[in-house]
Amino acid sequence: MSKTVDTSNSNSQKQNIRYAGFSVRFIASFLDTLFLAVPVGLVIYFLSGGEWFDWAQYQQNLSYAMRGDATHALNQAPVTSLKWELLFEFSVLMVTVLFWKRWKGATPGKHMMHIKIVDAKTLNDVSSVQALTRSLGYIISTMTLLIGFIMVAFRKDKRGLHDIMAGTLVIYTDEETKENDALSN
C-alpha cells in the first residue's frame, strides 16, 4: 500500500511511502535470525564452554520427537543457564540496535528486503529510545500469542504492537519505492 505523507511542518514537502507488510517483514526477520541471532548464539555458546544449554539433551529430545514420542521429548526439557541466556538476549538486542543506528533503521534482513524502520510521525531515523522500546515491544508482541506481530497483516499502516508502542513504521526504502514506481509507470 502506498501513501503520500507530509513530512515537514512548514515546507509542503511530500514523500511517497509504501508500508512494509507482514510477509516481507517475516522474511526479513528470518534473515536476521540467520545473520544475527545464529552467529551471536554460536559465540555465546562457545564462550559459555557449553554451560548455556545441554546440546546433547536437545539432540536427544529431537530424536524422541522424530520417533513420534513427543511426550517424552517435552518432559525432558534441557536445563538452560539463565546467565548465558540473558547475555545472548542482551547481545542480540545490542547488535540489532547497532544495525538500526548504522543502517538507518535496517538490520541485515531488512536491508536485503529494502525496508527500514522510521519514526511514524516524521519518517526520520528512529531514536535510541524508540529502538529500545521497539525491541522490548517484541517481548509483549510475543507474549500476546503473537497477535502483536499478526496485526501487521490486518492494519492499513502495517504496524505491529511493538511499532505502536515505539511510534515507528516499517516502510520500503527510497530505492525500492523508486524502482516500483518506475515499473508501474
> Rounded to whole angstroms, how far apart are CA atoms 79 and 107?
31
pLDDT by residue (tens digit) across 16-42?
899 999 999 999 999 999 999 999 999
Residue 172 bridge partners (DSSP) = 115
Closest CA to 92 of 151, 54, 117, 84: 84
> Rounded to whole angstroms, how far apart are CA atoms 181 and 183?
5
Q: Total domain count for the chain?
A: 1
> Rounded to whole angstroms, how far apart are CA atoms 57 and 50?
12
pLDDT by residue (tens digit) across 70-117?
888 888 877 889 999 999 999 999 999 888 888 888 999 999 999 999
The confidence band for 176, taking pLDDT boundaries of 50, 70 and 90, is low
3-state secondary structure 38-77: HHHHHHHHHHCCCCCECHHHHHHHHHHHHCCCHHHHHHCC
Range(s) of the domain holding residue 133: 2-184
> Rounded to whole angstroms, how far apart are CA atoms 169 and 116?
8
**Angle, CA of 53, 49 and 32, to the nearest 5°:** 60
